Amino acid sequence: MKNTDIKWYVIRCVSSQERKAKKRIETELKIQNLDSQVLNLLIPSKKENYIRKGKKVSREVNFFPGYILIQSELGPDIQHIIKNTNGVINILGGKDNPSPLHENEVLDMLGKIDESRSKSTDAIDFILGESVVITDGPFENFNGTIEEINRDKKRLKLAVMIFGRKTPIEMEYNQVIRRP
């Protein structure tokens, strides 16, 4: 395997089946003894922390739901394994000869992943007018729209629909998550 032939490709999966599809691909690559030809197989994601029922909880959120990135030479054997994996729809860029991602696209994506991992999710930059879901307190599972942001105190003023009326309430950053 020559270093110039190794490129990044995008695998399209059934949304919310990315982890299962990745595991199935890894298992089949090991069985076929082709795992050494794949340098990276990853699901671009970030860790998000929030408060639920008084406890701090974290979850992995995908940057690109329904997609897996693979760095490989992507020969016919590997393509066959990927295309015949449950949960995989196709490899983007062409039916028989998928086209790789451009180097600058890959660097942008990997840079976003690294940036999100280095950034504390407690210091999330919310945007005025953004929709959020409340994860803690008496308004748990209510949707709200951000009307004011107090970055110093890490608090948000939200407009929440209660009995058909917009009601302003204040929440801490860690009591809401961005609406998926």
Please provide the distance, in angstroms rounded to a whole number, between the alpha carbons at the two ends of the chain: 40
Q: In 84-96, which positions are buried (b, 16+ CB within 10 angstroms) versus exposed (e)?
A: ebebbeebeeeee
pLDDT in tens, the chain (180 residues): 556 678 999 999 998 899 999 999 999 999 999 999 999 999 988 777 777 776 777 888 888 889 999 999 888 999 999 999 999 999 998 777 888 988 888 887 777 666 655 544 444 678 889 999 988 888 888 999 999 988 888 889 999 998 889 999 999 888 888 886
The identity of residue 36, as a single letter, is S
The pLDDT value given to residue 2: 57
**What string of DSSP letters covers the chain?**
--GGG-EEEEEEE-TT-HHHHHHHHHHHHHHTT-GGGEEEEE--EEEEEEEETTEEEEEEEESSTTEEEEEE---HHHHHHHHTSTTEEEETT-SSSPPPPPHHHHHHHHHHHHHHHHS-GGG----TT-EEEE-SSTTTT-EEEEEEEETTTTEEEEEEEETTEEEEEEEEGGGEEE--
Tokens of 62: 């995908």
Domains recognised in the chain with CATH numbers: 3-119 (3.30.70.940), 131-178 (2.30.30.30)
Query: Which residue in the block uniquely carries the two structure tokens 């690109």?
Result: 64
Q: What pTM does this model have? A: 0.62
